Structures are given as structure tokens and as C-alpha cells.
Chain A
Amino acid sequence: MKVAYYKGCLASLSAKELDTSTQALAPKLGIELVGLKSVTCCGAGDIHEAEPDYYLHLNARILAYAEATGCDTLMTICNVCTLNLRQANHALQNDDALRVRVAENLERVGAPPYSGNVEVKHLLWLIAAGDGFEQLKQVAHKGLKGLKVAPFYGCQILRPSKLLGFEDPDRPSSLEAIIEACGGEAIDYPAKVKCCGFPIIQAREETALGELVQPIRQSIEAGADAMVTPCPLCHLSLDAWQAKLEAQTGESFKMPILHLSQLVGVAAGLEESELKFKRHVVPVDGVLEKVEAP
């Protein structure tokens, strides 16, 4: 299938490894990515909170450029982008007066208008269901050799479920299905659907770290070798802020954190130049040794 590919900010900046691994993996899964050059940040929760009308227009502009490619799906690789775009899309698709006003504003600045014919889907959803899942089973030939992987969903791919709605927000199973299909063992733990604290990690570090510690501690207690997440913001807090958590608690975690595209990428035999594990703060060597072991 052909999809318009929306990277979001982090995959263009601090999480480039998410972009390179996604671009390398997608064709193997039968997903053809159509790049979007003129789009901007979706605004995260921040523009939605600071300037909500501007948030709506920025997201409408992204949807408009996606529509202009002729694709009916806009694929995201970040939870926050997914919620932002789906929320804006829902409002535009279901309120004619609002859509007309926004489309007129887009035309005034030279952007294409948006007529409401794009659906926003996260990479996770394309892999976990239908053809994508069948392709995954073929592609993950290298396997994960029983690697114990703790899935961490993050918030904005599950809640609010009335806008996301792919699976049960309290007992999701898509990441588990993917881990198992890749030959890993999915580890269960209560905090897998909770918040990593990232949105407030700069403004309220202590509160955020109090949230972040739960999934890391619980996945270690449950015996995980690594964690996987579909969100680069969760990845950044789990990976980069782990050192701060260690300093704060006096505990040693050393928990490797993989992007979804990297985990599947390892099972599919992608190269280090595509996976770019060197960009992680917590080393991933232990995971690779286990998977490479004869």
C-alpha cells in the first residue's frame, strides 16, 4: 500500500534512527512511503494548548499536503502526531462550516485546501492488522530468539479511545502480537499503558520522573531484556532520561529501549546503518548479542 509519510519533528532531529529504520523497514512490509516536504510540526500538545486555532490549521495543512499526494492514508510514527492529526481530522471531517473556514485560510496562504479524504494511521496499526501482519510474519525471518520484550504503548496511541479506537485502551495487544510474530516473548506489566511523563519532563521534572520510573522498574522486575515503544517521545524519556532516574533513585536500570521499527527491523535483518543503535543513550549491545547468538 502507498501512504503519505509524516515523520514529525523528533524523527527529523534527535530520533533520526526512527526515520532511517522506518524507511528501511516499510518496503519490506509492502508499505510504499510518499514523503511530505512542505509540512510542519503538528504542535504536540503544546500548540494545541497555547494557540489551539493555529494548531487546527497547522494540522489541516499537513492533512492537505497528504491529500495532495493522492494517498488515502497518512502514516505517522509518533503517538502525539497521531492524536493531534486524528483529532483535527475528525473535527474537519465532521463540521462542514469549520472545514470550509480552514480550507479558505489554507488557500489564502498558498497551501492546498483540505477536503477531508485522508485517514491518519500509526505504523503500529498498519503492522498489527490485516495484510501488514501477514507481511510481518514473512519479513521477520531472522527472529528475536525468544528475546523478552516489554511493550510500552504510551498514552496518545490509546487514549482518548474515541479518537484513536484501534484497540482496547486498557488491555491493548498489538505490540504483544508483533513481538510474538517476530519470535520474541512479550512481557506483561501494569504500567505498559501509563504515561512516561515526557510532556512535562522539562517543566516538572520531578513529577515526570515519578511517572517514568514505573514502567522501567516494572519491566525489569518482570524479567524484560528490552522495552519497545511506538512513540519517539516515550523513547526519548525512557532512553535519555534513564540516567537521571538512576542518579535520582540510586538504582541501576540499563534497560535498552527500542523503537517499534527497530525491533521489527532487527527481526527482519536490517543493517546497523539503518537501525543506528549508536544513537541510543542506553547501549543495545546485550539485545543484539542475544539475537545474534547461534
Chain B
Amino acid sequence: MDVALKIWRYDPESGERVLRDYEVEAPEWACLLDVLDIIKDTRDGTLSYRKSCRMMICGSCGMRMDGRAVLACKERMKPIVDRGHVPVISAMGNMPVLKDLVVDMQPFWTKVRRMKPWVETGYEEIPEKEFLVSPEEMAPIQKEALCIMCGCCVSECNSMESDPEFFGPAALAKGFRFVGDPRDQETVERLESYNDEHGIWDCTRCYFCNERCPKGVDPRDAIAKLGAESIRVGIDRDMGAKHAKWFVHSAKTTGWLRETELVPKTQGVVSALKEVKFALNLFKHGKVPLVPHVADEVQEARALYEVVKSQGRDGAAGIVQAERALARLDHPVEARVEGEEGP
């Protein structure tokens, strides 16, 4: 088949960034990575991209196709060719471009390393034989353990675009992989560290990470699990945690969000007072409701809280229990709309 591509080339020496057209003959089974190899072998040996395993295991070939971060070895070209579409290939986002499709992953690795991505066993002397864990004990971190650290989730992370120091979805998903590991002895220390200013509560819940992850890790869900575990063990100093807890309190007391009290409950009274001018302007437009809205039969919501709390599915377990059903989901969007530049 004839495959046409456009590639954003970047030459660090000249600083030139240019969109080049390519057309090559490729076998019908070819994926994007195969096509890049053909271009490099037959058209332009200077084209730069990362690759290694070619089978979605090594995580090297993350790049953007039409603005979406993908693994080049996972994207089959035939359906795209059949639609007559010419995709635009570019480097991943949120990381500096070194050359063509190669980004500097150093900031990514620094953040992953900050998570202490190893099991802290709590012993120094090497025991005589290994410790065994059952599959059931490891099941809660099964999804996070699938991460191949390709960076596709980070590429489109909206919080990281605004705050480059945000630990980001890949590092935090890695963090949960160890928080949820039954062998790890530093759960609380980890959670304390992940609750830093640029940690768990910096996530804006845009869900781009879940959308892009080629391995089904669902990093946003992992971040929610870290938030849930933090609150379970009483680490709730962050404004994000206080914000989340106020929603729980609202549901238990009036059923609906107690919106007007949310700012002082999140930021504290002193910080909230600094917002008086802003709040008065909102008040003028009816945006500061003074009387809480109370749901009928609110006693049911209160009783439900007590019932749920007595059943021992606190923290991340409350999210993990729903994953068996979610894992059965196929991608329901059948046809993607093709366009040159994505978000």
C-alpha cells in the first residue's frame, strides 16, 4: 500500500521546525513505526525517533499522530490509508523536543524516581528465601503495574502544561503501584511525600491520561486511589483533600453541596477573607447562595454513609472494586474524525 505522512521535523542546530511530506510503499501489516523505518532506510537517514521492542513493551516510541500521543508500534496504518487520510506525526508534548520526534525524557524520569519506584521491604539483611504474595493480594495494583513509562499520558496532561513541576500521571500511577503493594513498608511515608504541593491534588481531572494510555493503566484513577488512601490514613492537610472532604460532609448533612462554605472549608477562613471582594461580586449575581439546598429524604444519604463505612471498603478499595466491570469496556468510538492538528 502507498502510505502518505507529514512529519514535523526539528533540527536543534539550526532551530528550524518544518512540516515535511513523505510517501512510501509499505506492506499492509505495517504500523506507524514500520513506516518511519522505511522512510529512514530509503528516504532520509537523518529522521530521528526512538524505538526498541516493536511490541508495546519497552515504551520507547511514544509520539503524536494528529495531535494524539500514541505508541508508533501500536498504530496500524491500513485503516488510515483506506480512509485516504494523511496523518501528521509530531513529537510528544510537555517535554522539550531534542530532534524531530525525540523528546528529552529527563524531567519525566526525575519525577518517576522521586516516587521511590521500588519496594521498601523494611529489612536490610537478605532473607534465606523469597516472600510470597498471592495473586489476590497483588490484584489491586494490577493496572498500575502495566505501565511501560512511555510518556503518552504526560504528553497531554493539562495540569502539567500549566504547572511543569506537577509530578504528573505516570509518576503518580507508579506511586500507587507501590502504595498498594502488600510488601511495601513505607505506605504512610510515601503518601506524605506524594501529598506535596505538586503532587496528588494538583491533578485537574482532565482525563487525558486515561484517554491516551496505550496499556489501560488509567493514571487518573490511580491518582484518585492515592487521594482516597491519603484521606483513609488521615493525611488531609492539602486544600485539595479539604475540598474533597467538604463534599462528603455536604452529602451527609444536606444531600447537596454546601457551596458557599466550600471556600473557607478548603482554604481556611483567613485565606477566604482575602477573597471578599471577589465573593461580593459573585454575590451580586446570585452566585453565593446563602441558604443551603436540602434534599428530601436526606436521612437516607446520612444512613447510607454509616452503612458504607461499616463495610470496610475505605480508601482505594472503593475504586478497585468497580474495575472488574470497567475492564470489560471496549472503546466505543468507532470512527475517529481525522484532522491535521489535534489539541
Contact = CB atoms under 8 A, between A and B. Distances in A.
Interface of A: 9-10, 12-16, 37-41, 43-58, 61, 83, 87-88, 90-95, 98, 105-106, 108-111, 155-156, 159-163, 165, 167-171, 173, 190-195, 197, 199-200, 202-204, 206-211, 236, 240, 243-244, 278-281
B238 A13 contact: no
Contact of B207 (A37, A94, A159): A159
B282 A240 contact: yes
B281 interface: yes
Main secondary structure on A side of the interface with B: helix
Contact of B318 (A38, A53, A161, A197): A53
Interface string B51-65: 000000000000000
A155 B286 contact: no
18 contacts: A43-B248, A48-B319, A51-B305, A53-B317, A91-B321, A94-B325, A98-B324, A105-B307, A109-B303, A111-B300, A161-B333, A167-B333, A194-B158, A195-B158, A195-B206, A210-B161, A240-B285, A281-B285
Contact of A61 (B203, B241, B278, B304): B304
A47 B251 contact: yes
- The 9 closest A-B CB pairs, nearest first, are A52-B318, A210-B162, A53-B318, A165-B332, A94-B325, A159-B207, A91-B322, A46-B247, A40-B255
A57 B304 CA distance: 7
Interface residues of B, number: 95
Interface string B300-343: 11011101110101111111011011101111110111110111
Contacts of A58: 251, 301, 304
B228 interface: yes
Contacts, number: 284
B287 A240 contact: yes
A171 to B, nearest CB: 4
Most chain B CB atoms below 10 A, which of A51, A87, A192:
A51
Given A200-B201, A203-B240, A54 B305 contact: yes
A211 B158 contact: yes
A109 to B, nearest CB: 4
B239 interface: yes
Contact of B202 (A52, A195, A200): A200
B227 interface: yes
Given A14-B288, A46-B246, A202-B263, 13 more contacts: A9-B257, A13-B289, A14-B282, A37-B296, A40-B255, A50-B241, A51-B228, A90-B329, A95-B325, A160-B211, A162-B329, A203-B266, A211-B158
Contacts of A10: 257, 259
B308 A57 contact: yes
A56 B339 CA distance: 37
A200 B308 contact: no
A156 B220 CA distance: 12
A15 B259 CA distance: 11
B8 interface: no
A45 B315 CA distance: 14
B337 A190 contact: no
Given A109-B300, A162-B330, A281 B281 contact: yes
Nearest to B312: A53
A110 B247 contact: no
B281 A243 contact: yes
A202 B273 CA distance: 13
Nearest to A43: B247
A109 B304 contact: yes
Given A14-B287, A61-B300, A170 B281 contact: no
B194 interface: no
Nearest to B292: A13
A56 B153 CA distance: 26
Contact of B286 (A14, A49, A199, A204): A14
Most chain A CB atoms below 10 A, which of B220, B224, B263, B339:
B224
B245 interface: yes
B166 interface: yes
Interface string B211-241: 1000000101000100110010000001111
A202 B267 contact: yes
